């Protein structure tokens, strides 16, 4: 897909999401880009401000503050309302960054925050910058644009802002296009150790022969590791889904004491890191590592964070701190296969491992299969049935279109509209909102998905249920209900933006509104009929009226935190106290849409039907697997066991029964419960 074609499709999707409202289209673009930056690991959570002061020449559209890294990220949009692809020039970039710089400098000065309307989302940001000046270690300024960066732009600004180390990033349409069509889960990160203190890292090759996977043992200085984490943050931890089980953002007391009091003993006491890379450049006959592409810390996120935090908070001297590293070079095409295993085997103390929820987990594979097979009903007045496309791994949606002719691509987009494409983190927001945990959704897409030190997140809930019933709950009925929740979420998103009272914090208002509605339905003793929304593929007017009423109440509670709590609205939205206050608000479900509510018996009947259907489908899949492997495979397994003696007497009996049975009967005679233990 050319960048011009991508621009056309990208623009159409924004228009579809916004209902062709110009202001909402710009806001949708900012939201989309914030989500992209969060997926890339540039930031965790965000708040939109949509602030512009033309008189003073300052502006900011969104922001994020990472407590662990003490990094402030400010985002400004250069959105072009044009049907043709425009160019982002050096002059455009300089003007945009000057607006962001002026905003930071103004916020650091006395009087600016006081001059802003307290009801404006930007006021919260201005106060935060003013009060947290001494805590901020780095400012990251990001310009996002739907124009294409000019080839004449050779470099970005480098000057510090307010005396703080500052980095500059431009995400133009070309960069967006590359990220979304590359099929990779993230942008490439090259780390050049030659340009850092100590130069190339001495290493010891730990592999034999060309056919072996390259592995190295090395020691990295604590200061270099802290610098890497400060510079790249959670992008170094991405392969382990932000290492949600081992990394809590809190310094480990034992590590802290060693780093501060006995730094020379850290190497002896600490287990070190397990890391992977997609490519390395070595020197001195593989005795030194010069460059590394896409370094990922698979095990050791807490070690990395603790070293960084000890330096930042305790002013610890890291000159005597060294960390051992086991580094494996994993080719990109084998990342999804091998990295989860490395993570699993190096994190055996965890009951549920982050690696279990990589994109190849059976849950994701099943949802992907449903999304390709099940047709959503056409909307009112239409005849075209469509799919809700689940992007199990980033880039799938673009890759599906890569080799299509224009006619085939048009057909694909007709059946798989981009507006109906959703990701793992999208699904987490949809489900958790109806699970009545909007404070978890407000933590940000990644934490809502992966969980935190105090919350199980989407992963924890799904993994627990999967283990409980072997995934039977996640059936076609569950999928249709989930898509109905997606329709709910996205329609409420548009609804909130168009309210007269709307002034910001849309993401928080949306999830809280849905959670409050779900709470009201539960308290009524009834159940919502999500299959009705699946059939309609939109929210009916009676529901929209009720949701608009709820949203207004929710907004008032969110923007007016009680005395004694935080005055920061985005932080207030993350607290259980906020949700308790919303739950207690005197709103009644009322009438107007009884046809969308069902009783317990109907709900149970549907759940049981879905469970039974999934059980049958699992049985068919298992039997198909046995048949497709062929009798020769199972005979080899039998011969293998004669030497290794790993199979039970019962399992060997099952195998022995098959030798005289024709291939067509093999699957029918091996029930899933019989062969489950040794299929692999």
pLDDT in tens, 300-351: 888 898 899 899 888 999 999 999 999 999 987 787 777 777 776 665 544 4
Averaged pLDDT for residues 557-565: 87
Mean pLDDT computed over 455-476:
88
Asked if pLDDT for residue 400 goes beyond 80, the answer is yes
Q: Is the dihedral of CA 405, 411, 417, 421 positive or negative?
A: negative
Give the torsion through C-alpha atoms of 303, 306, 311, 314, to 10 deg. Answer: -140
Each as own residue / partner, the long-range contacts of residues 668-676 (CB below 8 Å, 24 or more positions apart, any chain) are 668/623, 670/623, 670/626, 671/619, 671/623, 672/618, 672/619, 672/622, 672/623, 675/622, 675/626, 675/651, 676/622
Residue-level pLDDT at 671: 41
Are 14 and 28 contacting, i.e. CB atoms less than 8 angstroms apart?
yes
Pairing of strands 421-422, 190-192: unpaired
> Which is higher by pLDDT, 211 or 384?
384
Pairing between β-strand 288-293 and β-strand 201-205 as defined by DSSP bridges = antiparallel
* Per-residue pLDDT reduced to its tens digit, 653-662: 766 665 444 4
For 144-185, give the secondary structure using H, E and C.
EECCEECCCCCCCCCCCECCECEEEEEECHHHHHHHHHCCCC
Cα torsion 202, 207, 208, 211: sign: negative
How many beta carbons lie within 10 A of that of residue 199, not counting itself? 12
Residue with tokens 């207690």: 584
Instruction: Say how far apart CA 555 and CA 512 lie, in whole Å.
Output: 9
Share of the chain residues as helix, strand and coil, in percent rounded to the nearest 5: 55, 15, 35
| The predicted structure's pLDDT at residue 248 | 42
DSSP E strands, 559-655: 597-598
Average pLDDT over residues 258-266: 93
Residue 62 or residue 651, greater confidence: 62
Tokens of 141: 């300024």
What was the pLDDT predicted at 486? 97
Give the position of tokens 């509209």: 417
Q: What is the pLDDT of residue 404?
A: 83
The more confident residue out of 180 and 35 is 35
Give me the residue spans of the domains in the chain.
3-181, 190-351, 359-422, 425-598, 616-675
Do residues 572 and 558 lie in contact, with contact meaning Cβ atoms separated by under 8 Å? yes
First to last CA, the chain: 39
What is the average pLDDT value for the chain, to the nearest integer? 84
Residue 65 confidence (pLDDT) above 70: yes
Contact 485, 530 (CB under 8 A): yes
Q: Where are the beta strands (DSSP E) in 438-547?
A: 527-528
Structural contact between residues 215 and 206, judged by C-beta atoms closer than 8 angstroms: yes
- The mean per-residue pLDDT over the stretch 619-639 comes to 70
Above pLDDT 90, what percent of the chain?
Answer: 45
Percent of the chain with pLDDT over 70: 87
Lowest mean pLDDT among 54-63, 492-501, 562-571, 609-618: 609-618
Measured CA to CA, the distance from residue 108 to residue 408 in angstroms comes to 54
């Amino acid at each position: 897909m050319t960048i011009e074609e991508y621009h056309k499709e990208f623009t159409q999707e924004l228009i579809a999401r916004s209902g062709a409202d110009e202001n909402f289209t710009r806001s949708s673009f900012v939201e989309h880009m914030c989500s992209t930056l969060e997926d890339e690991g540039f930031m965790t959570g965000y708040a939109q401000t949509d602030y512009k002061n033309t008189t003073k020449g300052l502006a900011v559209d969104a922001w994020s503050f990472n407590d662990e890294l003490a990094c402030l990220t400010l985002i400004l949009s250069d959105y072009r309302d044009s049907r043709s692809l425009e160019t982002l020039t050096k002059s455009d970039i300089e003007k945009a960054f000057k607006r962001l710089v002026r905003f930071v400098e103004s916020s650091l000065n006395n009087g600016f925050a006081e001059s802003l309307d307290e009801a404006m989302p930007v006021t919260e940001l201005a106060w935060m910058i003013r009060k947290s000046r001494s805590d901020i270690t780095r400012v990251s300024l990001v310009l996002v644009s739907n124009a294409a960066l000019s080839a004449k732009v050779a470099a970005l600004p480098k000057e510090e802002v307010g005396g703080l180390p500052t980095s500059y990033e431009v995400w133009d349409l070309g960069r967006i296009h590359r990220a979304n069509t590359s099929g990779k889960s993230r942008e490439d990160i090259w780390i050049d150790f030659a340009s850092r203190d100590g130069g190339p890292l001495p290493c010891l090759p730990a592999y034999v022969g060309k056919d072996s996977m390259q592995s190295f043992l090395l020691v990295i200085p604590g200061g270099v590791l802290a610098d890497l984490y400060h510079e790249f943050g959670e992008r170094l931890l991405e392969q382990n889904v932000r290492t949600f089980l081992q990394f809590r953002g809190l310094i480990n007391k034992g590590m802290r004491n060693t780093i501060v009091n006995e730094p020379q003993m850290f190497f002896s006491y600490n287990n070190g890191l397990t890391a992977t890379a997609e490519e390395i450049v070595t020197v001195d006959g593989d005795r030194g590592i010069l460059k590394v592409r896409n370094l990922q810390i698979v095990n050791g996120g807490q070690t990395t964070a603790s070293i960084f935090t000890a330096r930042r908070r305790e002013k610890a001297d890291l000159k005597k701190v060294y960390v051992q590293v086991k580094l494996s070079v994993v080719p990109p095409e084998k990342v999804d296969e091998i990295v989860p295993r490395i993570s699993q085997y190096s994190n055996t103390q965890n009951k549920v491992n982050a690696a279990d929820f990589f994109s190849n987990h059976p849950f994701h594979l099943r949802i992907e299969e449903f999304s390709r097979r099940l047709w959503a009903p056409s909307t009112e007045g239409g005849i075209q049935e469509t799919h809700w496309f689940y992007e199990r791994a980033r880039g799938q949606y673009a890759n599906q279109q890569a080799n299509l002719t224009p006619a085939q691509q048009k057909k694909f987009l007709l059946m798989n509209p981009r507006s109906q494409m959703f990701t793992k983190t999208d699904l987490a927001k949809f489900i958790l909102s109806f699970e009545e945990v909007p404070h978890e959704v407000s933590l940000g897409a990644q934490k809502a998905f992966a969980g935190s030190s105090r919350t199980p997140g989407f992963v924890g809930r799904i993994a627990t249920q999967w283990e409980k019933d072997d995934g039977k709950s996640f059936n076609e009925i569950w999928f249709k209900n989930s898509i109905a929740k997606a329709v709910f979420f996205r329609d409420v998103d548009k609804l909130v933006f168009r309210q007269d009272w709307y002034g910001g914090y849309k993401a928080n208002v949306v999830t809280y509104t849905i959670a409050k509605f779900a709470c009201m339905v539960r308290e009524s003793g009834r159940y919502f009929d999500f299959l009705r929304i699946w059939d309609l593929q939109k929210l009916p007017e009676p529901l929209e009226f009720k949701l608009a009423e709820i949203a207004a109440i929710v907004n008032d509670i969110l923007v007016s935190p009680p005395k004694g709590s935080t005055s920061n609205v985005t932080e207030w939205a993350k607290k259980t106290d906020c949700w308790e206050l919303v739950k207690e608000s005197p709103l009644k479900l009322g009438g107007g849409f009884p046809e969308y509510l069902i009783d317990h018996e109907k709900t149970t009947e549907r759940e049981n039907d879905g469970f039974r259907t999934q059980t049958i489908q699992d049985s068919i899949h298992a039997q198909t697997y046995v048949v497709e492997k062929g009798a020769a495979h199972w005979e080899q397994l039998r011969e293998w066991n004669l030497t290794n003696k790993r199979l039970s007497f019962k399992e060997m009996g099952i195998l022995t029964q098959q030798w005289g049975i024709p291939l067509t009967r093999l699957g029918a005679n091996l029930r899933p419960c019989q062969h489950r233990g040794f299929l692999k």
